[in-house]
Chains A and B, each alone.
Chain A
Amino acid sequence: MTTTADSLIPATDITDNQTVAVTVEGKNILICKANGDYYAVDNQCTHQRAELTNGRIRNCYLACPLHGVRFDLRTGMPKGELTRVPLKTYPVSVAEDGNLHLELD
């Protein structure tokens, strides 16, 4: 079953290489923008469950602030040896009203 969350935040509220944490259906989700595109991932590193809110985004990779694991925002796949577990990703799009629209599984 798919849950959708409309009117999350205005798309213009988030700039490139920025993250915004939101709670949807009790889940802590991190909205990210990289190279002009929007991404949504679980706001929890798969290495040690650290929050990724202050993670740094470069070239479509989000780096965990704790030990630096980098996740590809497009696929959730991690780089390096610290974890092999991908970050869960969610489809996100800009709705007609200019707000971000998120789909949860």
Chain B
Amino acid sequence: MSELIKVKQQGEERCEGISYQNLLDEETIEVPAYLREDTNPYMGDEDISVDRWISRDFHDKEKEKLWPKVWQMTCREEDIPEVGDHHIYEIIDQSIIVTRTGENEFKGFINSCLHRGRILRDCDGHADEFVCPFHGATWDINGEFKGIPCKWDFSHLDEKDMSLPQVKVGTWGGFIFINFDENCIPLDDYLSPLPEHFSRFPLHDYYKGAHVQREVQCNWKVGAEAFMESFHTLETHSEILTFTGDANSQYDTFGDHVSRSVTPMGIPSPHLPHVTEAETMRDILELSGRMATDSAEGHEMPEGITARTYVAETNREMFSEIIGESLDHATKSELEDAILYMLFPNTQVWTGYHGNIVYRFLPNGDDHNSCIFETMILLRYEKGTKRPDSAEKNILRPDQAFSEAPEIGGLGPVFDQDDSNMAAVQKGMIASRKGAVSLASYQESRIRHLHQSIDKYLNA
């Protein structure tokens, strides 16, 4: 066994049941190269101290050395469709006015008046110019200073650079990213290999069909990690085991900033013997929340067809009808599997021809014990028709269930199950006498990868 690859889905230590790569061998359509990637270098098995999630000191280190250095997703381009539209992006104690300044041009301004320091814009919206609500100092939307009332009293500012300070801005997939670090690596390098892996999924052409946000009482990493392994399916989402190959998932890491999990769907869990193909088909349609239909009524599988094939073909036909385009080139995997990428540090995006789900976990201001969880669903629309408007963000109250957000459909109840762990993990880590967590070598390798990448920034 290679020293670097101690544990792998195809290695000696693996769960019974068909592997993802073997499922790809059964595809009747040419499998794109990105799905054939299978890379999981061994990263160690040491316990990880709970301090990384619960200590103020660790949060302060992230505040000082992580967030000021990483590219971070702020919003969708479609959220600020017209010149002058802006989104206020807040991270810990920093505030940025992400502004559309041209048809395809965006700028990020430090949201602080150069006169007395008040934030210039209180909330998302539109402006022809930025007028400070305190004394009226004004900048145009490109950040050039236009003046302040009683200019006679400010002649000492004439020699000063009064342009609004900016952060680096970049776009990919219809998302707008910012980086506070003037000397950061280019966004394209940071994202690699994400753009290549998403080449069949032009996210910039999709529209945001849903956007739901809620505060969760856990560190932002606890939240993110709830979506980085399928190991928890067995205990947390047992009702979906009839159609989820949880322990046969593949986990990959690509450089420091990207990782991926692929959980085969339309096959039963290796933990669950004696599931019939008909049960798999019925449950995936009714419970997954991601298939083309959420009812199994009227669906009868022809003799000799597997649930995986039947559901993929149903999705192919129905998705194709919705978007008015052929999906003949789509693999079964891309039509039904859970293929979820993480972009370091806190954004996660699904590939596939169903709605592309996006997760983001932000620290809740300067509190290390809570975070803001957001999910968006990016949808395709019929070719040749007008792009639908971007969905308004639905901010749930902290006491509301995700299943109270009808726009995310079947995902709501699943998130509620995940939610039942998130705050409880934070609480349990604080109570822990062991003071550390022990990760599965393979199935939780993406979590270790996240922490090792964080360390690269904290130790830089």
Contact = CB atoms under 8 A, between A and B. Distances in A.
A16 to B, nearest CB: 11
Given A66-B131, A67-B131, A81 B122 contact: yes
A67 B123 contact: no
A57 B124 CA distance: 13
A9 B122 CA distance: 35
Contacts of B85: 58
Interface string A34-76: 0000000000000100000000101111010011111000000
Interface in B330-365: none
Contacts of A80: 122-123
B127 A68 contact: yes
B97 to A, nearest CB: 11
Interface residues of B, number: 12
Given A66-B131, A67-B133, A82-B133, A58 B122 contact: no
A63 B125 contact: yes
B214 interface: no
A86 to B, nearest CB: 15
Most buried by B among A58, A66, A70, A82: A58
Secondary structure of the B contact surface, majority rule: loop
B126 A68 contact: yes
B81 to A, nearest CB: 8
Contacts of A79: 123-124
B422 to A, nearest CB: 27
B37 interface: no
Contacts of B127: 68
B444 to A, nearest CB: 40
Interface in B91-137: 121-127, 131, 133
Interface in A18-33: none
B392 interface: yes
A50 to B, nearest CB: 11
B353 to A, nearest CB: 28
Nearest to A83: B122
A84 to B, nearest CB: 12
B125 A59 contact: no
**What is the interface residue range for chain A against chain B?**
10 to 19
A72 B62 CA distance: 36
A68 B121 contact: yes
Secondary structure of the A contact surface, majority rule: loop
B169 to A, nearest CB: 21
Interface in B115-163: 121-127, 131, 133
A41 B213 CA distance: 28
A61 B127 CA distance: 14
Most buried by B among A59, A68, A70, A81: A68
Contact of A59 (B121, B123, B131, B389): B389
Contacts of A82: 122, 133
B133 A70 contact: no
A68 B123 contact: yes
Most buried by A among B85, B123, B124: B123
A78 B124 CA distance: 12
Nearest to A78: B123
B320 to A, nearest CB: 29
A68 B86 CA distance: 11
B126 A63 contact: yes
A79 B87 CA distance: 13
A78 to B, nearest CB: 9
Nearest to B121: A68
A70 B123 contact: yes
A59 B390 CA distance: 9
A35 B20 CA distance: 45
B126 A56 contact: yes
A47 B389 CA distance: 29
Contacts of B389: 59
Nearest to A63: B125
Nearest to A68: B125
Contacts of A68: 121-123, 125-127
A59 B122 CA distance: 18
Nearest to A82: B122
Nearest to A65: B128
Contacts of A56: 126
Contacts of B122: 67-69, 80-82
Given A59-B392, A68-B121, A68-B127, 7 more contacts: A59-B389, A63-B125, A68-B125, A68-B126, A79-B124, A80-B122, A80-B123
Interface of A: 47, 56, 58-61, 63, 66-70, 79-82
In the A-B complex, the 6 residue pairs with the closest CB atoms: A80-B123, A80-B122, A68-B125, A67-B133, A81-B122, A79-B123
25 contacts: A47-B133, A56-B126, A58-B85, A58-B126, A59-B392, A60-B392, A63-B126, A66-B131, A67-B122, A67-B131, A68-B121, A68-B122, A68-B123, A68-B125, A68-B126, A68-B127, A69-B122, A70-B123, A70-B124, A79-B124, A80-B123, A81-B122, A81-B123, A82-B122, A82-B133
